[in-house]
Structure 1
């Protein structure tokens, strides 16, 4: 189905075309947020595939490490949430191709053992082969990772063995004993910018709320920004990019982090690595929640430490910064990088809470109206009334969740479009923001 923004009623394909302007918006049944997409160079896992990692499940099959291991730190940070908002529900994880990546291997007699995937994680695998004391010529083959047995098989010949989640077996002849053959030669290789372009082509078919880029390549940053803007303007799929230290992206679809942190165990994360947590927090926060002053769990210090005037300058430049206060690291103010305001896209859109509301409304309309209205409902007074009633009910739900305020059914207007198969919806909404500035006067007498 087609989607995107519109200026004039000249669309060819059936679809849902949404235009946001200051003071106006659109909507239906309120959907859930909570999906992150990330292209992450890793030391294990399939290459060029989108894997869905659900919050709370074992991360080992996806990246080769449990969530508590430094090798899975990026997933652990993504799934942290904040002190007052939930973590994301899932991560769409993609491992890019890398030049010169190699799979670890080892040889036992005439048998070659090869790590299932390329990368240095394969160097942590050892294969132990012991002969059965009660059955001469039969061997137990154990695959060991970090000292733990992850697979056990028995056989007499190499052909009796099958691949497991960690290694494959090849060769001909009888199995021979080994007290332990460590695999070696595994390497991660180098990920080129072209691999990120391939990722963007692949991930376009998926629905997600936040795209994380934890690198610093300027060409890739530009490509990522162009991608999220195109997804909204051309495809009607609304999301935001979370990246770091960009040069004036000036976009409501881009959140530009400028701060690194230190965790309580002494681990130092760069501004790029902080995007893991920040992206997860942005995806997990709902359309009626702000992350201003939300705390980063387990973070104790920030880098750089900014002065008051530097923080003000950063905010005015559309940079999201973290501050350390009372032993906690917090988001100073939950903004995106938009700094140029127009009558169509006003200052209200620099707030990420407002963007979450707009993205939720837009994605709900795109998905739910497409399934239940396009090609089904008649474009007459009765059909348009049905359409209007659905929008009114949706907006009442949003108001009940304190996402909007002062809504009246009179704020919704559904009219015939220029063509026999089109309609125009005019809707006025007033977004609710969180209290961020308290001005107090104290009179002493």
Structure 2
């Protein structure tokens, strides 16, 4: 289904086309937020495919490590949420291909075991073959990972063994006993910039709220920023990129993280690594919630330390920065990197709460109109009234939940378009922001 933005009513493909503009001075349902995507180099897991990980899921099948392992730090940070907003509900994880990667393997007698995936995690696997007294010439073959048995089979010959979640078996002939043959040769390899292009192609069909990039390659940063903007303009999919160290991105679709943190256990995370938490928190927050002054669970210090003027400079530059207040790390202000304002894209769009609202409305209208209205509703007075009623009901729900204010039915206009199969929809909304500045005058007599 086509979608995206428009400047004139000249589209060829049937679709839902939406544009945002700031002013001077069947029904639709409010969809859920909370999906994050990240392309992360790893030491285990399927290569070059999108894996869907639900909050609370066992991470071992995806990354090769338990939830408390350092290798899963990025997922743990993504799923933290804040002290007052929910964590994301899902991560779309993609392991990029890497040049020079290799699967660990071992040959023990007639049996060859090969790690299911490339990476150094395969070197933690051992195969133990134990001879049984009954039946004769039969063996128990155990797959051991990090000292824990994860699979056991009974067989006489190598060719009768079935692969498991960790290794594949090959070979022919009778098995021979071994006290533990460790797989070797597993290599992570080096991820090239081209692997991120493959990721962007793979992730495009999926719906997500936030894309995280925790690297520093300028070519990858540029490609991801262009991708996020393109899928909004051409496909009608509205999301944000969360990254760090960007050079003047100046975009409401990009959040530029400028602070690292120290966690309570002493772990220090750079600003690039803090994108994990920031991306998850931004995705989990709803359209009527702000992260300004929301706290980062488990973080005790923010770095670099900034003066008051330093924070002002960072905010003017469109940076998402953190500060520490009595051992609790908080978001200074929930903003994106937009710093250049126009008549259409005004200063209001620098607030991520506003962007969450706009993205929620745009994505909901796109998905639900595409599914239930295009090619179904007549383009006449009655049909256009049906469109309007759906939008009005939807926005009244948004208003009831403090996303917008001062809205009534007259703020929605549905007109016949310039061609017989087109309609033009005009919506005026007044957004609700969170209180961020409190000015108090104390008069003492």
Specify the alignment match of 1:283 in structure 2: 283
Secondary structure in 1 matching 2:181 = strand
Specify the alignment match of 1:138 in structure 2: 138
Secondary structure in 2 matching 1:294 = coil
**Distance in 2, Cα, partners of 1:123 & 1:363:** 44
- Cα displacement (A) at 1:110: 2.2
Specify the alignment match of 2:205 in structure 1: 205
- Cα displacement (A) at 1:71: 1.2
Secondary structure in 2 matching 1:234 = helix
**Distance in 1, Cα, partners of 2:429 & 2:190:** 49
**Distance in 1, Cα, partners of 2:110 & 2:134:** 24
**Distance in 2, Cα, partners of 1:348 & 1:263:** 33
CA contact (8 A) 1:21 1:345 kept: yes
Deviates more, 1:133-142 or 1:206-215: 133-142
Residue 87 (structure 1) aligned with residue 81 (structure 2)? no
Secondary structure in 1 matching 2:221 = helix
Specify the alignment match of 1:191 in structure 2: 191
Secondary structure in 2 matching 1:66 = coil
Specify the alignment match of 1:317 in structure 2: 317
**Distance in 1, Cα, partners of 2:134 & 2:16:** 71
Instruction: After TM superposition, list the pairs within 5 Å mapping 1:217-228 onto structure 2.
Output: 217-228=217-228
Secondary structure in 1 matching 2:319 = coil
Specify the alignment match of 1:418 in structure 2: 418
- Cα displacement (A) at 1:221: 0.2
Specify the alignment match of 1:52 in structure 2: 52
CA contact (8 A) 1:123 1:184 kept: yes
**Distance in 2, Cα, partners of 1:33 & 1:206:** 14
Secondary structure in 1 matching 2:143 = strand
- Cα displacement (A) at 1:28: 3.2
Specify the alignment match of 1:9 in structure 2: 9
Residue 335 (structure 1) aligned with residue 335 (structure 2)? yes
Unaligned runs of 5+ residues in structure 1 are: none
- Cα displacement (A) at 1:112: 1.2
- Cα displacement (A) at 1:23: 3.3
Instruction: After TM superposition, list the pairs within 5 Å mapping 1:390-405 onto structure 2.
Output: 390-405=390-405
Backbone CA RMSD of aligned residues? 1.0
**Distance in 1, Cα, partners of 2:48 & 2:17:** 32
Q: TM-score, normalised by structure 1?
A: 0.98
Specify the alignment match of 2:235 in structure 1: 235
Specify the alignment match of 1:358 in structure 2: 358
Instruction: After TM superposition, list the pairs within 5 Å mapping 1:155-166 onto structure 2.
Output: 155-166=155-166
**Distance in 2, Cα, partners of 1:162 & 1:346:** 61
Specify the alignment match of 1:305 in structure 2: 305
Specify the alignment match of 2:431 in structure 1: 431
Deviation per CA, 1:7-63, whole angstroms, max 9, x where unpaired?
111001000000100039xx9311000100111100000111101000011010001
Residue 127 (structure 1) aligned with residue 122 (structure 2)? no
Residue 28 (structure 1) aligned with residue 23 (structure 2)? no
Specify the alignment match of 1:251 in structure 2: 251
Specify the alignment match of 2:37 in structure 1: 37
Residue 71 (structure 1) aligned with residue 71 (structure 2)? yes
Secondary structure in 1 matching 2:150 = strand
Secondary structure in 2 matching 1:37 = strand
Deviation per CA, 1:177-202, whole angstroms, max 9, x where unpaired?
01011111111000000000110011
Unaligned runs of 5+ residues in structure 2 are: none
Residue 406 (structure 1) aligned with residue 402 (structure 2)? no
Instruction: After TM superposition, list the pairs within 5 Å mapping 1:86-105 onto structure 2.
Output: 86-105=86-105
Deviation per CA, 1:200-259, whole angstroms, max 9, x where unpaired?
011111110000001000000000000000010111000000000100000000000011
**Distance in 2, Cα, partners of 1:331 & 1:146:** 39
CA contact (8 A) 1:159 1:172 kept: yes
Secondary structure in 2 matching 1:168 = strand
CA contact (8 A) 1:155 1:161 kept: yes
Specify the alignment match of 1:176 in structure 2: 176
**Distance in 2, Cα, partners of 1:295 & 1:304:** 17
- Cα displacement (A) at 1:2: 0.6
CA contact (8 A) 1:23 1:430 kept: no
